[in-house]
């Protein structure tokens, strides 16, 4: 942004689009759904916002549950081998 633009627009206009922070939040959701869930970008982009957020939260819960299960199995196998 040039010096003149800073004088004319001292604050970043957000009424014509998403803020940088919200855009980053949405892109993170797309990445999580694509990387961990196998979704295409088109599928994630076209989901209604509330449904997309539900899928991201549910995927996070699933991954956490799987990790806890793997950790408990590892502890069981270590205690049996001793």
pTM of the model: 0.69
What token pair was written down for 35? 């990387």
Give the residue extent of every domain in the chain: 20-81
What token pair was written down for 28? 């993170």
Query: What span, in angstroms and rounded, lies between the C-alpha atoms of 53 and 45?
Result: 12
Tens of pLDDT along 13-52? 556 778 889 999 999 999 999 999 899 999 999 999 999 9
Q: What is the pLDDT of residue 17?
A: 78
In 3D, which of 18, 25, 73 has the Cα closest to residue 53?
Answer: 25
Query: What span, in angstroms and rounded, lies between the C-alpha atoms of 2 and 5?
Result: 5
């Amino acid at each position: 942004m040039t010096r003149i633009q800073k004088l004319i627009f001292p604050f970043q206009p957000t009424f014509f689009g998403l803020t940088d922070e919200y855009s980053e939040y949405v892109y993170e959701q797309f990445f999580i759904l694509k990387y961990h869930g196998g979704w295409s970008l088109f599928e994630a982009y076209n989901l209604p916002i509330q449904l997309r957020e539900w899928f991201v939260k549910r995927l996070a819960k699933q991954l956490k549950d799987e990790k806890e299960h793997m950790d408990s199995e590892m502890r069981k196998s270590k205690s049996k081998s001793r």
